[in-house]
Structure 1
Amino acid sequence: MGFDGQEWAATRTWVDKQLPEGRRLRNWTDLRGGWTSRMRRLTLDDGTGLVLRSFVKPFFRLHAPGLLNREAAILTLLAPYDDIPTPRLYAVDPAAELTDHPSLLMSLLPGSVRVDDDADLEARLDLLAGQLARIHAVVPAERPRTYQAWTSPERVTTPGGPLWERAVDVIRREAPAYEGCFLHRDFHPGNVLFTGTDAGRDTGRDTDAGTDGALRISGVVDWVETSWGPADLDVAHCSTASALLYGAEYGLGFRERYEARGGRRLAQDQDHLYWRLLDALAYAPDAEKVAVPWRELGRTDLTPEVLGARLEAYVGGVWERYA
């Protein structure tokens, strides 16, 4: 049902009350690439863009108060950080007291999500690594919650075979000791906006103007999972996603990009292996959960067969490097 339907009437009224004085909503459109929530771009009569996140699916609606309160707090925390471009918080209704669905209203950032494997790929990965290092340098006055593991030995579904059995055995151990830091916790190419190109030419793919043509990160979004934990876990998450999107070698090499751009000191050998596999095994056997939004963004080549093969190659490469 559209944003003008009865199902969204209370949300529309709530949004209207959050707008700057004298402004009104002109139109809206759905944003692609989301999985946990319904994302909409709202355009005001003066051209200002906003983004409305609404949790509609029953599971995420149940957890929405914690997720949206966390995101609102993090957007407020990061507002002064010029080197971490984040949306400006307008309003939040985490328990749907005034809206039809738990919702958060924020500013629209320039740029677009780019998950293609074009000529800018190497430069984009370098920028991702540098951005993650800057996120890990944040020292909040109050720590966010401790990270949560997204899988366990009992929950993993694998294709079977010795490699996967060894991988699952690794995460049966107690988590290694670590020096905690501020984590995005869901940092990957799908949650980062870019403008420009590596060659300094504008391709016309950006959602807003305002770039000088040079490739840069214009936004980091989706802060609902922000946590405190080992930098290895954020590096592992972006590494797994890079392996699935572009090939195992890109995931295996992300650690070096991160360290070369001032990242925190990461664990070695078996300890780092634990964090890598804890993340990678959450995608087994074929990463279908993340593949759906990636296909919506144009990566129709990412079939279950392709993703399953890439994940296995990545897990095997991680094993050879760190076991």
Structure 2
Amino acid sequence: MTNPDDVATVRPLTLAWVRRHLEAGERIVGAEALHGGATADMRRLTIGTRGGGTRHLVLRSFVDPTRQGPAEDLLHREAEALTTLAGTGTGTGTGTGTGVPAPGLVAVDPTRAHCEYPSLLMTHLPGRMILDDEGLETRLHLLARQLVAVHAVRPVVRPQEYVALTTADTVVTPEAADAAVWAAAIDVIRRPAPRYEGRFLHRDFQPGNVLFDLSPEDPAGADSARITGVVDWAAASWGPADLDVAHCSTNLALLHGPGWGLRFTEAYQEADGMLAAAADERLYWQVREPLAFSEEVQWVAQPWREAGRTELTTRAVEERLDAYVTFLMDAPA
């Protein structure tokens, strides 16, 4: 249900900008805040169509002054990624031709030329994210196959090279962690990055950025789940497939337990995804991502709690992170 009064929460210049990108005879009839966006304000706009129906768009705005510096780069990247996916798709702007259902780009204003804040307007995809433990085995395989499809995309214009999210000198070892294990893990990423075959990366592929369509009889998606959308392409880049796999594996380990991290890596390979051939090279990428999470545990845990996983306190997530790093360092090659 929409509320016309919520439209007033969208700033006037931004509203005018959105209206300029609607079809003839359309109007904005409602706005609703979307939760889960960690770096930007997200709103679903309800658009009244000329024929009396409705459709939805999504407005992403970087309202936090501390994020407005990187916002221009992030929005350019997202716009380019959505354009790439639309160009490789069926012409519908959803990227379905490659099996990557992504939003269609409507408009972007990365420099605030028209809006109060750096903003991007895109189509709305059906479905919702699922962070529950129930039904995870089924969803894990869907996630793995979806990521293989992402890495199969061959953009005409290569996106910028990936950015490492941590260094050996900035890792934060948890207070209760085994210092020797973490020191060994940190030594792994002191080495030069292994050579790799580049792939199109999402760079934040994880359950919070994947939408599922569920039947009312199967709300956890144990049997009937299907992926309807992959969202948040602001960090899209070029790099090793291992990096995306390690990022999703780390998220799964923190959400559901350490074993699920390696299980996702196995599922990716079972879906014909290709990782680094040498064990020491795979370990480099596997360890780099959880070490990056060590610097932002509180920031990572908060949206999960807001989404209903209230047991995932900062302390609980930190303990799972420690367990996962230990698990990786102890795992057989």
Same fold, judged at TM 0.5 (above): yes
Question: Contact 2:7 / 2:28 at 8 angstroms: preserved in 1?
Answer: no
**Pairwise CA distance, 1:303:** 0.9
Q: 1:202 to 1:19 in 2, by over 3 A?
A: farther
Write the letter of the residue equivalent to 1:222. Answer: D
Task: Determine if the alignment matches structure 1 residue 61 to structure 2 residue 62.
Answer: no
Task: Determine if the alignment matches structure 1 residue 156 to structure 2 residue 171.
Answer: yes
Partner residue of 2:184? Answer: 166
Question: Contact 1:52 / 1:105 at 8 angstroms: preserved in 2?
Answer: yes
Write the letter of the residue equivalent to 1:156. Answer: V
Match of 1:187 among 191, 195, 205: 205
Match of 1:175 among 175, 193, 206: 193
Instruction: Report SS of the residue matched to 1:171.
Output: helix
Question: Contact 1:38 / 1:53 at 8 angstroms: preserved in 2?
Answer: yes
**Pairwise CA distance, 1:256:** 0.6
Q: 1:186 to 1:322 in 2, by over 3 A?
A: farther
Cα separation, 2, equivalents of 1:292 and 1:41: 21
Partner residue of 1:117? Answer: 133
Instruction: Report SS of the residue matched to 1:112.
Output: coil
For residues 114-153 of structure 1, the aligned pairs below 5 Å read: 114-118=130-134, 120-153=135-168
**Pairwise CA distance, 1:285:** 6.1
Cα separation, 2, equivalents of 1:322 and 1:95: 49
**Pairwise CA distance, 1:305:** 2.0
Question: Contact 1:37 / 1:55 at 8 angstroms: preserved in 2?
Answer: yes
Cα separation, 2, equivalents of 1:244 and 1:263: 23
Runs of 4 or more, structure 1, over 6 Å off, are none
Instruction: Report SS of the residue matched to 1:224.
Output: coil
Task: Determine if the alignment matches structure 1 residue 43 to structure 2 residue 46.
Answer: yes
Write the letter of the residue equivalent to 2:56. Answer: G
Task: Determine if the alignment matches structure 1 residue 276 to structure 2 residue 280.
Answer: no
**Pairwise CA distance, 1:146:** 0.6
Write the letter of the residue equivalent to 1:98. Answer: H
Match of 1:90 among 106, 123, 128: 106
Partner residue of 2:31? Answer: 28
Instruction: Report SS of the residue matched to 1:86.
Output: coil
Cα separation, 2, equivalents of 1:296 and 1:91: 29
Task: Determine if the alignment matches structure 1 residue 99 to structure 2 residue 102.
Answer: no
**Pairwise CA distance, 1:3:** 5.1
Relative to the length of structure 2, the TM-score reads 0.89
Most deviating of 155-164 and 225-234: 155-164
**Pairwise CA distance, 1:149:** 0.2
Instruction: Report SS of the residue matched to 2:227.
Output: strand
Cα separation, 1, equivalents of 2:14 and 2:251: 33
**Pairwise CA distance, 1:201:** 3.3
Question: Contact 1:285 / 1:308 at 8 angstroms: preserved in 2?
Answer: no
Instruction: Report SS of the residue matched to 1:110.
Output: coil
Cα separation, 1, equivalents of 2:224 and 2:248: 23
Fraction of identical pairs, as percent? 48
**Pairwise CA distance, 1:214:** 3.0
Partner residue of 1:255? Answer: 265
Q: 1:286 to 1:19 in 2, by over 3 A?
A: closer
Write the letter of the residue equivalent to 1:126. Answer: H
State the superposition RMSD in angstroms: 1.8
**Pairwise CA distance, 1:64:** 1.4
Relative to the length of structure 1, the TM-score reads 0.92
Cα separation, 1, equivalents of 2:217 and 2:78: 34
Instruction: Report SS of the residue matched to 1:109.
Output: coil
Cα separation, 2, equivalents of 1:286 and 1:134: 29
Write the letter of the residue equivalent to 1:49. Answer: H
Cα separation, 1, equivalents of 2:169 and 2:73: 26
The gaps in structure 2 that reach 5 residues or longer are 1-5, 90-94
Most deviating of 122-131 and 73-82: 73-82
**Pairwise CA distance, 1:173:** 0.9
Cα separation, 1, equivalents of 2:287 and 2:16: 46
**Pairwise CA distance, 1:63:** 1.2
Higher RCO by CA contacts (8 Å cutoff, separation 6 or greater): 1
Question: Contact 1:113 / 1:189 at 8 angstroms: preserved in 2?
Answer: yes
Most deviating of 75-84 and 232-241: 75-84
Instruction: Report SS of the residue matched to 2:66.
Output: helix
